[in-house]
Amino acid sequence: MRIDPKLKPSDLTKPLQRLFDLAGRKVRDIDRTWDVSRGTPVFTVEGKYTTRGWTEWTQGFVYGCAILTFDVTGDRALLKLGRDRTRRHMPPHITHVGVHDHGFNNLSTFGNLRRLMREGKFPHNEWENEYYELALKSSGAVQAARWQGIRVEKPSPLSANATQLGYIYSFNGPHSLFVDTMRTIRILGVAWQLGHRLMHENDRAADLLKRAVLHGLATNQYIIFHGQSQHTYDVRGRTAHEAIFNRNDGLFRCRSTQQGYSPFSTWTRGLAWAMLGYAEQLEFFATIPEGKFKQSVGLPRRDVMRVFTQAAVETSEHYIEDCSALDGITYWDDGAPGLAQLQGWRDRPADPFNDYEPVDASASAIAAQALLRLGRHLNKPRYTQAGLSIARTLLSDTYLATSPKHQGLLLHSIYHRPNGWDHVPKGRKIPCGESSMWGDYHLLELGVLLHRLSSGGRYLTFFD
């Protein structure tokens, strides 16, 4: 991709104002027209949000969009909408034992509301704060309970030479580790920071920070490729969607995919989840004293941060050098077969309206935030400027849904290409022109971060 070395957050002030103006209208439109008995808005078809019952992992994004828009605009009607809908519809997600999505649903709602109250964006109420904190504690513990250990026969530098490893398993079952979960484990960090533990039989306590750390170490060892073998698919920074473990003996068996093209290519939204998950965890770990960290995790903080830095840098470099087009936007998978028909696709801006393979702007919105955070944490302008360059593209007319008839915000988002779930407009050969609830939410989250960077506001984090 082409990185603009001179771009500043303040250069995006007007596009960001347009984004949040649009968001205020579209959040209201969705709330006014959506029938909650139908399920949860997931993605658009011909500009109107529809549902796809799978795990209802996007409901927190629906109300989170209202809360984030209030964060920037101060529109208290949107705050009221976000608070009311969170209280009414989100409690079942707190104790949902069947998914790996707690960090998506509950930090987007309860977490954002708690953060804004503590920042003084609306009046502090002790009981309301306690309600949000109890929700976050409970959600973190329920998420951590989906735990499976990994049999470590030989400690590896890829997992900080840990003699214990494990992972929060996906909704597919105990054998399955998803790359997505790198961004949801932050709910464990918040619950740990609030002093919470997961209690097992005989009053055995599980440390939530430790489980988050071991999950990230396992993801680096078994999901991320590091270019250390002779396998042709072993490209440094590449991510698989899924790792499969034999639950009879706890050993790793193979990589797999659910939403990517293959286990040996890069599903770009999965890559972006890893980029952002590791970057945020690095920011979080840096605030924890070394002694307290080792007491919880049993490993030196510097060793863990070295591995998490490796993961963040390698995935970010893979995004910049291998997966993105000239303007920083990715297609849905770097191994998608139709890319062979788009020769030189890395050397020109992404084309959402081509006839062969769809772009996934939602992956780019997630990745842009990751690059901004990693650049700040490492003091590496390359990543900061890459994040800003992607953001500028996403806020352009090509990707921002400016039509009042379109309920989405971020155009050209892809959900599940292998299953054919995404809408193909009449006269087109591939999906394009549609939005997703996670894409809209993460564009707004990116927008809040950029707004605060440009205005000198408080830096946005998921933790205190």
pLDDT in tens, 339-379: 999 999 999 999 999 999 999 999 999 999 999 999 999 99
What the block records as the tokens of 281 is 């965890």
The pLDDT tens digits for 28-53 are 999 999 999 999 999 999 999 999 87
Q: What per-residue string of b and e applies to 269-292 under the rule 16 or more CB within 10 Å gives b?
A: bbbbbbbbbbbbbbbbbeebeeee
What the block records as the tokens of 1 is 């991709």
Residue 241's φ and ψ, nearest 5 degrees, are: -75, -35
* pLDDT above 90 (res 314): yes
The pLDDT tens digits for 261-275 are 999 999 999 999 999
What pLDDT score does 23 carry? Answer: 98
Residue 151's φ and ψ, nearest 5 degrees, are: -75, 120
* pLDDT above 90 (res 135): yes
Mean pLDDT of 441-447: 98
What pLDDT score does 55 carry? Answer: 82
337: Cβ contacts below 8 Å, ≥ 6 apart: 261, 357
Distance CA 95, CA 114 (A): 19
* pLDDT above 90 (res 54): no
> What's the chain's average pLDDT?
97
The pLDDT tens digits for 249-262 are 999 999 999 999 99
Distance CA 352, CA 341 (A): 14
What pLDDT score does 53 carry? Answer: 78
DSSP helix/strand/coil, 231: coil
Residue 299's Cβ-side half-sphere holds a number of Cα atoms within 13 Å equal to 25
